[in-house]
Amino acid sequence: MKAMLLRVGIDKGSGGNLGPIFKDGSFEYIPIPEDFPSDIENTYADTPGRNGNNLSAYVRKGLKDRQIHFDPEFKSFTYGAGNHRPISKLNKNDLLVFYAGLKPYENKRYEEGLYIIGYFTVKEVLNFDLMDEDEIEKSTKSCRNNAHIKRKKDTDGLVIVKGYKNKSKLLDKAIKISVKSEDSIGKTLHVLSPKMEKITALSGSIQRSTPRWIEEEKNVLKLQKLIGLE
């Protein structure tokens, strides 16, 4: 059993801002905008959040009427990526933990940083390049809620992870995992907090483009306890 830490959701480099965290520790998961032709109907302006406002309340004006790339999605619990991304190395019962950049919304209790927002316990990893036409059709139907399936293009290079419904969750309250640091030229970085270093046996920066693997089972078990999965 192993775990992967994976950054998702809108951020300053993909969408232009961070999602909100509220004074009680709850948050809105704000997906990135969709950049490809898609059958997705939802925009930020017509998608309700969990705290009373539509998601458009938390994004810059130019995004409000854009389609949303809802990936991961927490209804049927799927996450997809193209070009054989590292998720293809996940196996059944591995843990896929999602974190996002969040900033305080109308409160001073929390600070801007990186927070765990949800997780999947892996049920199945679907590699579409290894399927025949019948298998692709079946898998497409079973993953119809996934944003990659809704894109108007083929499934070459697509991998989709499906989570167990009773062991996967969008959290009610975010869990902070970072502290601020600086790189060699003084630019602010968010790195794993000392607490998370002890839990994961990892250290240093956790950038969007580089998922981090947790290989030791004892550390995976600590991570499960942190997120409430026991």
pLDDT tens, position by position, 15-52: 989 999 999 999 999 999 999 999 998 999 999 999 98
Give per-residue pLDDT as tens, 108-131: 999 999 999 999 999 999 999 999
- Contacts with 117 (C-beta within 8 Å, 6 or more apart), sequence order: 8, 9, 27, 29, 98, 99, 100, 102, 170, 171, 174
Bond into 104 cis (ω within 30): no
Confidence category of residue 83, pLDDT binned at 50, 70, 90: confident
What pLDDT was estimated at residue 84? 65
What are the structure tokens assigned to 93, written together? Answer: 């019962």
Give per-residue pLDDT as tens, 160-217: 999 999 999 999 999 999 999 887 788 888 899 999 999 999 998 887 778 999 999 9
What are the structure tokens assigned to 23, written together? Answer: 């004074």
Query: What is the rounded distance in angstroms from the CA atom of residue 87 to the CA atom of residue 71?
Result: 13
Give per-residue pLDDT as tens, 48-73: 999 989 999 999 999 999 999 999 99
User: 230 pLDDT exceeds 80?
Assistant: no
Give per-residue pLDDT as tens, 129-162: 999 999 999 999 999 999 999 998 788 999 999 9
What pLDDT was estimated at residue 61? 92
pTM: 0.95
Bond into 72 cis (ω within 30): yes
DSSP 18: P
